[in-house]
Amino acid sequence: MIGLIMFAVTLLLLMVGFPVAFTFAGVAVIFGTLSEGIDLFGFMPYRIMSVMENTILMAVPLFIFMGIVLQKTRLAEQLLEAMGDLFGNIRGGLAVSTILVGSLLAASTGVVGASVIAMGVISLPVMLKHNYKKTLSTGVICASGTLGQIIPPSIVLIILADVLGVPVGDLFRSAVMPSLVLVGSYIVYVLAIAYWDKDAAPATLSRNPSAGKYWRVAKAIVPPISLIIAVLGSIFSGIATPTESASIGAVGALLLALIYRRLNWDIVYQSSLETVKITSMVFAILVGATAFSMVFTYSGGDILVEEFIHGLPAKEMSFILISMAVILILGFFIDFVEISLIIVPIFYPIALSLGIDMQWFAILIAMNLQASFLTPPFGFSLFYLKGVAPKSIQTTDIYKGVMPFIIIQVTVLLSLILFPQWYGFSGF
C-alpha cells in the first residue's frame, strides 16, 4: 500500500501548492528511504542520464522555441484579423474564424497559453462588440486555444511517445484524424447555435467581402501553412526524424520573423531565455517523476494496480474506461506534464500486457489531457482568459462557456474508444 499512500500524499501536496518537481522528488526520497533504504537511490544517476541522453526529448525545446518566436511575430493577431474578415459575413463567423485560427496556431506553435491570451486580447472584444453571447465567446476561445494539445506537432504527443515507446512520427500521423473530427465538431456546434439562436452569434460584415480582404487572408495564412507543411511534411514523408523536423521548425520560425521584418537580437534572446525556462521546468518534473516512478515500482504499487485491473470483467474495456476516468478527474487538479510522467507510466505495463494498441492509447490520453485545460476549477485556459478578459466577463461566464466544449470533447473521446476503426486504430 506504500505506493498508493505516496500517490495520495503527492496529490495533496500539489493541491496545496507545492512546486511540482520538488514534490515528486521529495515524496520519492522520503518514502523510498523509509521503505527500501537510501541505497535505492544509487540507481538514480543512471536514470537521470538516460533521460538527458534521450534524442526524442530533444525535440521539446526546439518546438518550444519555434512557438515562442512565432508568438513574438504577432502571428495570432494577423491570423485572427484576416480570418475575421473572411468569415464575418455569416452568423457565428467570428467564432468559426477563432476555431480555425486556434487550429493553425496549434499546428504551428503549440503554445496553449499564448494562443488563449492572443485570442482573448484580440478576438474576445470584437465578439462582444458585435453582441456575441459572453458564454459562447469565452468557450470558443478557451476550447480553440487548447487544440495545441492534440494537433501535431504537440509537446504532449512527444512526451507520450517517449513514455509509451511509440515512434513520434507515427503518433503525429495518428493524431491528424481525431484532431480534424474535434475541430469539425467545434465548428458544427457553433454554426448550430448561431442558427437556432439568432442573437447568440450575429454576422458582423457585409455579404460581399472585397478582393483585398482575400489577399490579406492569403498573406496571413500562407506563411504558417508553409511552416506546418515543412515540419509535418518532413516527418510524414520520412525525410527527417521528429527531432530534425523540430530544428526545421525553429529555423523556419526565425525565417518567418525575418519575412515579417521583426527579427532582431532581442526576439532571439527573449525567445531563447523563455525556452530555457520552460524546458528546465519540464525536465525538472521529468527527473522528479523518474524518482517517483522508481519508488512506486519498488514498493509494489504497480503490481497492486495491475492485479486490480486483471480481476475486472471485460478487462480491456474496463481498463480503458478506468484509466480515462482517472486521467480526466486528475486533469481537474494537476497539469498534463505531471499526468504524462506519473500516471501514464503506471498504466503503460498494464496496457502492454492487455495487448492494447499503444498509438490508440496515446491518442486517447492526449485527447483526455486536452480536456484538463478546460475543466474547472483549475483549467489553465480558464485562468489565461480570465487574466486578459474585460471586467464585464465573470468567472462564471467562462465556466458556463466551456461546458458544451467539454461535452463535445468527451463525446469525441468516447467515439474514439468505442469505434477505434473509424480513426484507423486496431484498439485491442
Does position 385 have pLDDT exceeding 60, yes or no?
A: yes
Cis bond before residue 153 (omega within 30° of 0): yes
pLDDT value, residue 208: 56
pLDDT value, residue 6: 81
pLDDT value, residue 377: 64
Q: With 0-12 CB in 10 A as exposed, 13-18 as middle and 19+ as buried, what is 297?
A: middle
415 — pLDDT class (breaks 50, 70, 90): very high
127 — pLDDT class (breaks 50, 70, 90): confident
pLDDT value, residue 412: 94
Cα 285 to the center of its chain, rounded Å? 17
Does position 171 have pLDDT exceeding 80, yes or no?
A: yes
pLDDT value, residue 111: 61
363 — pLDDT class (breaks 50, 70, 90): very high
Does position 386 have pLDDT exceeding 60, yes or no?
A: yes
Task: Locate 401 and state its grid cell.
Answer: 462557456
Does position 205 have pLDDT exceeding 70, yes or no?
A: no
Does position 213 have pLDDT exceeding 60, yes or no?
A: yes
For residues 84 and 41, the model is more confident at: 41
Whole-number Å distance between alpha carbons of 280 and 285: 8
Q: State the CB neighbour count (10 A cutoff) for residue 280.
A: 12
